[in-house]
Structure 1
Amino acid sequence: MSQTLLPFILFALVASISPGPTNLLILAHGARQGLRASVAPILAGCGAAAAVVLLVGLGLGELLVRHPLAQQLMSWAGALWLSWLAWRILRSAGQPLYINADKPLDALSAASLQVVNPKVWMMAVAVIGVFAAPALPVWQLALVFLLIALPCMTAWALLGVGSARWLQVPARLLWFNRGLAVVLLVSAWATLLG
């Protein structure tokens, strides 16, 4: 095992399991739609994050460093989109879980979210800057990240599924969704403004 693999695994675990916009949306999706309906968004979200790691490692990271305006525009677009998603969650805050008022998170939306998520790009730049080495090529970093991210994001969906019964009480659901919307907003803008 490479000397950098174990530290990278720990980094990927923390980056994947920590609360972030996609994990919060998967939590809400799991509560509303169940685990089976969450599989496609989980696979797409984790695959997109691993693809960002790969693309940054193959040179896109350098391009973004050379063109800070492009990086800033991507960050603002991501924060605005996440704000819109938070608004959707807030707007449906009191609706019963079994009512599908809004379109559920699909695979394309989950993947797109990762592509515009500032947290994913900062994580990918850190991964490549710290862990990429001849003994640990970029494609292996992306693959290991994917293998770690999948069970981490699935845990968020399971947390949502497990909370579904508790959320059958309308007041709890209202506060749960309001809390998710606020945390989603904070996670989107904290990265951008921090």
Structure 2
Amino acid sequence: MISFGTMIAFAAVALGMVCAPGPNMIYLISRSVTQGKLAGMISLFGVMLAFVVYIVATMMGLSALFLTVPILYSMIKWAGAVYLLWLAWKAIRPGSGSDRNILEPQSLAIESPKKLFIMGFMTNLLNPKAAVLYVSLLPQFIDPARGSVLMQSATLGLLQISISFIVNLLIILVASQVVSWFGKRPIWMSIQRWVMASVLTALAARMAFDRK
């Protein structure tokens, strides 16, 4: 079973990742501002379903890989470390265009509830960063010596979904205020990028030197 300390550490990482502006956050804010909070919530349920798909795929994939070919754990670990370092550099590199307000909502057409759900689902499902991050982050929080890899993956996945749902729901409820607040305080966007880059670098170092 996963230790309480490991769950707290993973929860902190999951919180940091969901708070980093990305396709899901931008879409949900734009939809909420354009069509209202209910539309944002319907879209959010679609986003959450895509997370469930990723978690199930990750659970089965990690279990099979670790049980049949243990050396692949090391390969995934190093690939994940390199990817996290790349994300850290991408967040702060000069000329990346990250100085602009990426939370500025886009004008979206009015859509039906069914289409809102599907669009939320596809926005997350087709986001390659979400898929790669599951493979990069989950392995370093899983210890085969503490029991079923499958159950550990499921526990961490459900924890990530819960955190993502709560944070995104709050964002939907205050979408207009969020956009206005960050628009008036661009310095916070810069701080957020540097904090996230530091977290990703620390995770990459931990993953690279983990002997687990």
TM-score past 0.5 threshold: yes
Name the amino acid aligned to 1:41: V
**1:41 — aligned with what?**
47
Name the amino acid aligned to 2:160: A
Q: Judging changes above 3 Å, is the alpha-carbon distance between structure 1 residues 12 and 157 closer, same or farther for their aligned structure 2 residues?
A: same
1:155-189 CA-to-partner distances (Å, cap 9, x unmatched) read 111121122232464xx241467635652454245
Identity among equivalent positions (%) equals 11
Q: Judging changes above 3 Å, is the alpha-carbon distance between structure 1 residues 30 and 184 closer, same or farther for their aligned structure 2 residues?
A: farther
Give the number of aligned pairs.
178
In structure 1, distance between residues paired with 2:80 and 2:14: 25
**2:107 — aligned with what?**
99
Q: Judging changes above 3 Å, is the alpha-carbon distance between structure 1 residues 92 and 150 closer, same or farther for their aligned structure 2 residues?
A: same
Q: Residue 91 of structure 1 aligns to a residue in which SS?
A: coil
Q: Residue 143 of structure 2 aligns to a residue in which SS?
A: helix
| 2:125 aligned with 1:125 | no
Find the structure with the greater CA-based Rg: 2
Segments of structure 1 that go 5 or more residues without pairing to the other structure are none
1:31–1:160 contact (8 Å) kept in structure 2: yes
TM-score, normalisation: structure 1: 0.61
1:41–1:107 contact (8 Å) kept in structure 2: yes
Please provide the CA RMSD for this pair.
Answer: 4.3
Q: Judging changes above 3 Å, is the alpha-carbon distance between structure 1 residues 52 and 106 closer, same or farther for their aligned structure 2 residues?
A: same
Name the amino acid aligned to 1:42: M
| 2:125 aligned with 1:108 | yes
2:91–2:197 contact (8 Å) kept in structure 1: yes
Segments of structure 2 that go 5 or more residues without pairing to the other structure are 32-39, 109-118, 206-212
1:40-67 CA-to-partner distances (Å, cap 9, x unmatched) read 2333235425644553343367425257
1:17–1:153 contact (8 Å) kept in structure 2: yes
1:44-193 aligned at under 5 Å gives the runs 44-45=50-51, 47-49=53-55, 51-52=57-58, 54-59=60-65, 62-66=71-75, 70-79=79-88, 90-93=99-102, 95=104, 97=105, 99-100=107-108, 106-110=123-127, 112-117=128-133, 121-129=136-144, 131=146, 133=147, 137-167=148-178, 169=180, 172-175=181-184, 179-180=188-189, 182-184=191-193, 186-188=195-197, 190-192=199-201
